[in-house]
Amino acid sequence: MHPIADIINFLETLAPLHLQEEYDNSGLVCGDAGAVAQGAIVALDLTEEVVDEAIGHGFSLIIVHHPPIFKGLKKIDAKDPVTRMLLRCIQHEIAIYAIHTNLDNVIWGVNGEIAARMGLKHLQVLAPKAGTHLQLNTYVPSSHAEMVKNAIFEAGAGAIGLYNECSFSSQGEGTFKALEGANPFIGEKGLRHLEQEQKLEFIFPVHLQSQVLMALNAAHPYETVAYNIVPLENQFHELGAGAIGTLPEPVAEKDVLSMLKSIFKTGIIRHSPFTGKTIKTIALCGGSGKSLIYNALGMKADLYFTGDLGYHDFFLPAGRMLLADIGHFESEQFTSDLLERVIKEKFPTFAVLKTGRYTNPVNYFL
């Protein structure tokens, strides 16, 4: 038996909440994370049918991609459809957890899942996100440098791409004078002390800040630890919006559209005029990805596909790239499979089910 918090904490190690966009509302939307997790339904959206499903199974958690409360609620009035669903969930002690743009902003999330279905190789993020990492500088007596370094690595700092335990050390002299009431590890009160110290530098993701600082304070011998945390503007290829990769073999434009139709199970694809080129490099973004059209052009994609494109967007490639709209729901439909799969792998005895309902609110009259 796991508390719901265990499932949430696991999901947030895969897609930390700080990676969500400012406008988003990912995280626990409603419910008690301390309650026992008695099964979960995974869906793109919260609908009445999804709530019925969770109630029918006796489950205590619904995991959705799109947060049902997005812009705030001012009234709890059951006449409003979203509020009615929330009230039903509360009555049946079902928690709702949303994993939205934080899952969009990790390469193994929404977009990695789409790319895998397309068989794309050499995948990287289309629009890397800045501000995801911090730098820690600290000053440690040389005798304790290795111990502090180990503790900080243990807390998760020092990972860069396919490397971990990355750090930099430089030797120097630190000074301090212990004042009345202090209990210095070394040196005499009232006298300036000179100590051979190492300056240690590490990089770590924002969400690990408290555990990195806890590890630093626990391992550092000084009563008062000197350190600075520096925000970084670095961008990493695995964190950010959209994805871009290459097909194993170039494909004709019409063939790639047929491929999209079959993989994403859609009868209709809206696209810009054919360019006459074959398609090898493909950029993509699950959901509403119109803001990344120029990123795809800048990265020399032959095709960019997403959902929710408007009329004017189709003019933008101007013969340089094929642009396609496969539908918002269609582009994100595999997100539920991804979440179901990773939760099952981590918690093999926990009942997690992808919704059996078709929740796309957009219908096509063919």
Q: Using the rule CB under 5 A, is 242 a contact of Zn ion? A: no
Q: Are 133 and 234 in contact (CB under 8 A)?
A: yes
Span interacting with Zn ion, options 29-37, 170-178, 266-274, 330-338, rule CB under 5 A: 330-338
63: Cβ–Cβ under 8 A, 6 or more apart, which residues?
Answer: 7, 11, 40, 41, 42, 43, 97, 98, 99, 339, 343
At 88, the amino acid letter reads R
Task: Pull the structure tokens for residue 204.
Answer: 């770590």
In angstroms, rounded to a whole number, what is the distance separating the alpha carbons of residues 7 and 195? 46
Minimum CB separation of residue 64 from Zn ion in Å reads 10
Instruction: Pick between residue 117 and residue 193 the one whose CB is nearest to Zn ion.
Output: 117
Minimum CB separation of residue 121 from Zn ion in Å reads 25
DSSP alpha helices (H): ranges in the chain?
A: 4-14, 48-57, 81-91, 101-104, 110-118, 145-154, 209-219, 253-263, 293-298, 328-332, 335-346
Number of Cβ within 10 Å of residue 319's Cβ equals 11
Q: Which residue is nearest to Zn ion (CB)?
A: 287
Instruction: Pick between residue 67 and residue 158 the one whose CB is nearest to Zn ion.
Output: 67
Minimum CB separation of residue 308 from Zn ion in Å reads 8
Minimum CB separation of residue 281 from Zn ion in Å reads 24
Minimum CB separation of residue 66 from Zn ion in Å reads 6
In angstroms, rounded to a whole number, what is the distance separating the alpha carbons of residues 29 and 89? 11
Token look-up 């999209």 returns 260
Minimum CB separation of residue 99 from Zn ion in Å reads 11
Minimum CB separation of residue 159 from Zn ion in Å reads 29
Ramachandran category for residue 349: left, alpha or beta (phi over 0 → left; psi -120 to 50 → alpha): alpha
Site for Zn ion in 266-305 (CB under 5 A): 287
> Long-range CB contacts (< 8 A, 24+ apart) of 20-23?
20/100, 20/101, 20/102, 20/105, 21/101, 21/105
Span interacting with Zn ion, options 3-11, 119-127, 203-211, 331-339, rule CB under 5 A: 331-339
Instruction: Pick between residue 204 and residue 305 the one whose CB is nearest to Zn ion.
Output: 305
Span interacting with Zn ion, options 212-220, 229-237, 245-253, 332-340, rule CB under 5 A: 332-340
126: Cβ–Cβ under 8 A, 6 or more apart, which residues?
Answer: 111, 240, 241, 242, 243, 244, 283, 284, 285, 292, 295, 296, 299
Output the 3-class SS for 104-164.
HCECCCHHHHHHHHHCCEEEEEEEECCCCEEEEEEEEEHHHHHHHHHHHHHCCCCCECCEC
Minimum CB separation of residue 357 from Zn ion in Å reads 17
Instruction: Pick between residue 53 and residue 332 the one whose CB is nearest to Zn ion.
Output: 332
Minimum CB separation of residue 21 from Zn ion in Å reads 12
Q: How many Å from the N-terminal Cα to the C-terminal Cα in the chain? A: 48
Span interacting with Zn ion, options 185-193, 204-212, 257-265, 324-332, rule CB under 5 A: 324-332
Instruction: Pick between residue 205 and residue 287 the one whose CB is nearest to Zn ion.
Output: 287
Minimum CB separation of residue 335 from Zn ion in Å reads 8
Instruction: Pick between residue 25 and residue 135 the one whose CB is nearest to Zn ion.
Output: 25
Instruction: Pick between residue 31 and residue 287 the one whose CB is nearest to Zn ion.
Output: 287
CA distance to 21, 22, 28, 70, 245, per residue, from 25 (Å): 9, 8, 9, 6, 29
Span interacting with Zn ion, options 86-94, 144-152, 181-189, 328-336, rule CB under 5 A: 328-336
Instruction: Pick between residue 163 and residue 358 the one whose CB is nearest to Zn ion.
Output: 358
Instruction: Pick between residue 16 and residue 287 the one whose CB is nearest to Zn ion.
Output: 287
Task: Pull the structure tokens for residue 298.
Answer: 């800048």
Count of residues engaged in binding Zn ion, rule: CB under 5 A: 2
Contacting residues toward Zn ion, per CB under 5 A: 287, 332
